Amino acid sequence: QTMTTHYPDLTLQPDPQFPQPQLMSALMAKLHRALVQRGSGDIGISFPHYVQTCKPTLGATLRLHGTDAALRELMAQDWLRGMRELVEPAQNGAPLPVPPGARALCVQRRQFDTSIDRLRRRRMLRKGETPEQAEAALPQPTAQRQALPHVHLRSTSTGQSYCLHIDQTPVPVACDSGQFNTYGLSHGRTVPLV
């Protein structure tokens, strides 16, 4: 298994028409499609400005992790089409080397009881609401409320909207075995904290 030795940052620029969480959802959807097409499981992600307390947010920067070759190959593809004016890749997307001694970070998906998600999807279909409107109308029961940042995505196979909750935690030991899924997340493999 190859190590995640490099990283480029993709930072969303402010847009008066769309809130930053909506833009991050769109960016994640495009990355997901690119990683499905790539099919390698060798690119991970993290969020340098991730906040889990008070107002959970992923921030405006998506960091990709992988080998220099894998990242250059991904960035050479046209997966950012339609968002190029909204995304500013640091160093024009050229991957930077991970500094020696970087700590490890586990970035994984967390899934919760989906019955409330089903009710929200039905409401969105019936009332033509956005995911945010349905979430406000049908909040998570207090006992199940999870203060985790998330993105709203739409399944390409079913067309249904869903929340991808992301748990990002520093861990004491790096793990380079295993693969990243098509969201760039992994339950076992870590990425460097840079």
pLDDT tens profile 84-142: 889 987 777 689 999 998 999 999 998 776 677 778 888 888 888 888 888 888 776 64
What is the band of 13 on the pLDDT scale with cuts at 50, 70, 90? Answer: very high
What is the band of 144 on the pLDDT scale with cuts at 50, 70, 90? Answer: very low
Please tell me the predicted confidence (pLDDT) of residue 50: 95
Query: Of residues 139 and 8, which shows the higher confidence score?
Result: 8
b or e along 84-122 (b: 16 or more beta carbons within 10 Å of the residue's beta carbon)?
A: eebbebeeebebbebeeeeebbbbbeeeeeeebbeebbe
Q: How far apart are CA 129 and CA 43, in angstroms?
A: 34
What confidence tens digit (pLDDT) does each residue in 19-56 have? 999 999 999 999 999 999 999 999 999 999 999 877 89
Rounded to the nearest angstrom, the gap between the alpha carbon of residue 138 and the centroid of all alpha carbons in its chain is 24
Q: Taken in order 138, 139, 142, 143, is the CA torsion positive or negative?
A: positive
Please tell me the predicted confidence (pLDDT) of residue 143: 41
Its pTM stands at 0.82
DSSP state at residue 1: -
Strand partners, 192: 104
Count of C-beta atoms within a 10 Å radius of residue 46: 26
The answer to whether 78 touches 124, Cβ cutoff 8 Å, is: no
Please tell me the predicted confidence (pLDDT) of residue 146: 60
Average pLDDT over residues 58-83: 94
- In this model, does residue 185 exceed pLDDT 60? yes
Strand partners, 166: 109
Query: What is the residue-averaged pLDDT of the chain?
Result: 88
Please tell me the predicted confidence (pLDDT) of residue 135: 83
**Active-site residue 32, yes or no?**
yes
Q: Which residue of the set 32, 65, 150, 152 is catalytic? A: 32
